[in-house]
Amino acid sequence: MSNSKIIKFTLNELKDEFIGKPETKARQQYEYKLQMDVLGRLIKKARLMKQLTQEELGKLIGVKKAQISKLESSANSATIDTVLRVFNALEAEVYFNVRMGDRSL
């Protein structure tokens, strides 16, 4: 039997080491892209739950299918207005949670 120890790391420790500390530009870009990807997946999941095609959702909010596709793949170029219109058309409630340090606003 080996005497080697298992070393454990948190996800944040790994991100700090391989992407950069939270205050670095690289880490901020990574976190932003991750958040936009999650938002895009949420839009797609909500659309599928409503059993709508991208084209049908686009018609509901007055955009083309291509824009819905782009939103679902990554919402990084979307305005808040567009995102809210999408979720409103999908009859989904949206909540914002804003934190500054240890405080919620």
Domain that holds residue 65: 11-104
pLDDT-derived band of residue 76, with 50, 70 and 90 as boundaries?
confident
In this prediction, residue 101 carries a pLDDT of 87
**How far apart (Å, rounded) are the C-alpha atoms in residues 36 and 71?**
9
Q: Does a structural domain hold residue 72?
A: yes
Mean pLDDT, rounded, for 92-103: 90
The model's pTM is 0.80
Average pLDDT over residues 61-76: 92
- Domain of residue 25, CATH code: 1.10.260.40
Question: How confident is residue 2, by pLDDT bands cut at 50, 70 and 90?
Answer: low
Say how many domains are in the chain. Answer: 1
Is 28 contained in some domain? yes
Answer whether residue 2 is part of any domain: no
User: Which pLDDT does position 3 carry in this prediction?
Assistant: 74
**What is the rounded CA–CA span in Å between residue 55 and residue 58?**
5
Render the burial of 64-85: b for 16+ CB within 10 Å, e for the rest. Answer: eeebbebbbeebeebeeebbeb
> Can you tell me the distance from the alpha carbon of 30 to that of 16, in angstroms, rounded to the nearest whole number?
11
What is the CA 71 to chain-centroid distance, rounded?
10
Q: Is residue 63 part of a domain?
A: yes
pLDDT value for 75? 77
Q: What three-state secondary structure class fits 57?
A: helix
Determine the average pLDDT of the residues in 7-36: 95
User: What's the CA gap between 101 and 41, in Å, rounded?
Assistant: 27
* pLDDT score recorded for residue 48: 98
| Residue 1 domain flag | no
pLDDT at 1: 58
Q: Which two tokens stand for residue 54?
A: 């991208």
